[in-house]
Amino acid sequence: MSKLEVFLNDKLMPVASRLQQNKVLAALMEGFIRTSPITLGIAFITIIGNFPIPAWIEFLTKIGIYPHVEAITNGATGVFSLYVVYSLAYSYAKQLGANKRNSALISLASFIMLMPQTISTTVIQDGQEVTQAIGALKLDFLGGQGLFIGMLTALLVTRLYAFLSKKKIMLKLPESVPPMVTQSLAPVFVVTLIFTLVFALRVAFGFTASGSIFQFFIDVVSAPLNSLAASPLSIILIMEILAILWFFGIHNAVLQGPLGMITMTMIVTNIGAFQKGEDLPLLIPSVIYMGMYAAGFMGFVTFFMIRSKSAKMKQLGKLSFIPSLFNITEPIMFGMPIILNPIFFIPQVFTQLIAGFVTWGLTTTILPINLNPTMSLLPWTTPVFVKMPLSGGLNYTILMVISMLIGIVMWYPFIKIADKKEYELEMAAEQLSRHETKEQSLQESMQA
């Protein structure tokens, strides 16, 4: 393991350092980190409100509490793209030397302007059900499904704003005007030009079959996968695509159509056969899915972080540990961040791929699984180390441990590399702070 760490430090770190000096990547990392208070702050309520006991959720629903839990969750993760757009535009503007608040607000406005602003609903008129369009923003596009478009909007609008701002086309105001008013009104021509381009882009995508840039992106990404049936290869393919897209900041919600279709097909088909006492027709794909899911368990990643030397990683690990046990990974994905962090590309992209093929091989040879598919209906917050033993007994537990070991072996050296880098940065910052304090004390003593 030590030889691997040395090799990765020598070969990977120089490349990662050069990439992280890129202004776009630097802005992405800072922008995501700044959103971590939201994902961490919502974790406790999300866990309690979705505690993996069906009777508990039914109780909260019965007493009228569960809708409020959903409201709090939607207020954070349901509109998460809004926070990312503002934070990312702010960070990128700082990299470019542009006005940070103006860039963030203009990017946020552009993002909403591009979004469909009507939804279809059914209303009762004269005793008849009538489909009617009402003015509203769709939470799907404000949340995970709009995250990638939001990132692009923040980067492109901020870059355009910074470029146009340097072209001396700002509105000139007298010096007597307060600075805050000047900063708000000076870029009116620039903003008008940006919004005109946004308008043209919205109109262009409005003429497509998708109707908007948001739906167009979803259709393009998910369309090739919609025809896949539940099979070992299709499960491995979709889970691997999810891992790759997640690394680039494209939320799993974008592929919820094809993934949901396949997983629900597996669950319903297997439950039907199980109730009749028949062999499960989609046993192998179901087992592979959970094996890859276990390999992606982030609890051991946060455990390694808790034992880090870096104060940043240690604290983030402590805050993310409990949420990670209940499958809430956003705090670590955005807080580290893992998204678009070149250090973590290999474990994020290849861990589950390896686990998928290993699971497939073991299940069809030396480790047969007897699965109770009804356990698939447990809430999504059920820890994987609870769900898999309940679903398949000893062999399934052994498979879970093997998948988790694959994840541990894949993630550990890269966590060590990131920890070393963060620790060195913290030591350098602390040394600089001590030097500045020493110089300040010396100057004060000389003045005295």
Q: What is the pLDDT of residues 271-282, one digit of tens each?
A: 888 878 888 888
CA distance to 314, 425, 434, 438, per residue, from 431 (Å): 20, 10, 5, 10
* pLDDT at site 180: 59
Residue 263: closest CA among 127, 398, 373:
373
Task: Answer yes or no: is pLDDT of 177 > 70.
Answer: no
pLDDT band, residue 85 (cuts 50/70/90): very high
CB atoms within 10 A of CB 78: 18
Q: Among 84-88, 125-129, 340-344, which stretch is predicted with the lowest mean pLDDT?
A: 125-129
Cα Rg for the chain, rounded, in angstroms?
Answer: 25
* Higher local confidence (pLDDT), 123 or 70: 70
**One-letter amino acid identity for 113?**
M
Calculate what percentage of the chain has a pLDDT beyond 70. Answer: 83
Task: Answer yes or no: is pLDDT of 14 > 70.
Answer: no
Q: Which residues contact 197 (CB under 8 A, 6 or more apart)?
A: 160
Task: Answer yes or no: is pLDDT of 179 > 90.
Answer: no
Mean pLDDT of the residues in the chain = 82
* Higher local confidence (pLDDT), 430 or 360: 360
3-state secondary structure of 372: coil
Q: 393: which strand partners?
A: none
* pLDDT at site 241: 86
Residue 101: closest CA among 2, 207, 180, 175:
180
Is the distance from CB of 9 to CB of 420 less than 8 angstroms? Answer: yes
* Higher local confidence (pLDDT), 112 or 264: 112
- pTM of the prediction? 0.74
**In whole angstroms, what is the distance from residue 158 CA to residue 372 CA?**
52
pLDDT band, residue 173 (cuts 50/70/90): low
Instruction: Give the CB-side neighbour count of residue 42, counting CA atoms within 13 A.
Output: 23
